[in-house]
Amino acid sequence: MDQPIKRQSTLALLGALCLFLSTIEYLIPKPLPFIRIGLANIPIMLAIDLFPFASFFLLVIIKIVGQAIITGSLFSYVFLFSFGGTVASALGMYLLRKLIGKEGISFVGIGIAGALLSNAVQILLAWLLIFGPSAQFIAPPLLLLGLITGLLLGIFCQHFSEQSRWYKQTIEEHQNDESR
Amino acid sequence: MTAIAAMMKVATAAAAIKQLFTRFRPADLVILALSIIITISSFFIVYAKNNSELQVVIEGMGQSYIYPLSADETLRVRGPLGDTLVVIHHGAVHVEDSPCKNKLCIAMGEISQQGQWVACLPNQVFVRIIGKPVKDGLDGSTY
């Protein structure tokens, strides 16, 4: 691919961060397997402002496949849920940021919307493909947890994007790359 | 001194939280409100509805189906001998027809209370009603 070298290295860094955070999340004990904190979505949220769509989507694919390999769910139906949820939330978050703009929406709103979309799609897939109407019983606690984790991750990303020198520098370098 | 330092810390933390909320942008608030509304209403929709309503669980050939007892359905449930016809009508369930020999399942008649069941053992179909137990009903009585 004919990508600027700086963007490639940022993509590799964020991709590796996705895998690392997936591992960390996998190590945290959880009462039910569907409950996710969504740590691996932090690099994806940060990538929204850093990359054009193609690179952003590549990162999303890296996250999905990497997470599936780490959690050992690559060829199970869990992968389908993970794929659907992540793609929907990533596309939704990207579109929201691009359509509304930085002044209209911060990472807090993006995080909540992403969690909501991810959960909604996963519940829908569970309803349609495997569990039938009884899938609705898992919906309320899942949505509540998603709201909380989405809010927390959003606050973290907003704080990070405002405070991090690395983040500001990377955005500048990407812009320089593209204008060259 | 430590008490003052602790109070200072609390004050800065409170200021940070306040700053955080004032920094919310318009779309953030819209999405936050929307998400809260969806979450709360999902609790009401899913749990309120199913507490008051009895459900019919139909199991056959390793598959199971759940229908509300208030539904109006005629179902063909596959079994090893053929199709068992289960009818949900007017808040009660009965087996209309079954390809078994003794037709005990048809003879069991209608069920409508939580915990009751109808089974067709030869055709491996099991119908039962789940939901809230009836508080002031009698299990049985003799004279």
Dihedral angle of Cα A122, A123, A127, A130, to the nearest 10 degrees: 50
pLDDT score at B16: 74
Residue A26 lies in a domain: yes
CB A73 within 8 A of CB A83: no
Note the ipTM here: 0.84
Residue A17 lies in a domain: yes
pLDDT along chain A (180 residues), means of 10: 76 94 90 80 93 93 93 87 93 93 90 94 90 83 92 92 91 80
Distance of CA A22 to the CA centre of its chain: 11
CATH code, A165: 1.10.1760
Number of domains within chain A: 1
Cβ distance B31 to A109 less than 8 Å, yes or no, reads yes
For residue B7, what is the enclosing H or E element?
Answer: helix B2-22
Domains of chain B plus CATH, in order, are: 2-51 (no CATH), 53-130 (2.60.320.10)
pLDDT score at A43: 95
Residue A178 lies in a domain: no
Which residues constitute the domain of residue A60?
5-169
Q: What is the pTM of this model?
A: 0.68
Q: At what angle do helices A5-27 and A53-71 cross, to 10 degrees?
A: 30
pLDDT along chain B (143 residues), means of 10: 81 77 82 93 79 78 84 86 88 88 87 86 88 65 75
Residue A180 lies in a domain: no
pLDDT score at A143: 92
Q: Report the distance separating Cα A51 and Cα B129, nearest Å.
A: 55
Tell me which residues of chain A, numbers 89 to 108, contact chain B at a CB-CB cutoff of 8 Å. Answer: 96, 100, 103-106, 108
Cβ distance B25 to A109 less than 8 Å, yes or no, reads yes
Cβ distance A104 to B26 less than 8 Å, yes or no, reads yes
pLDDT tens-place string over residues A65-116: 999 999 888 888 889 989 999 999 999 999 999 999 888 899 999 999 999 9
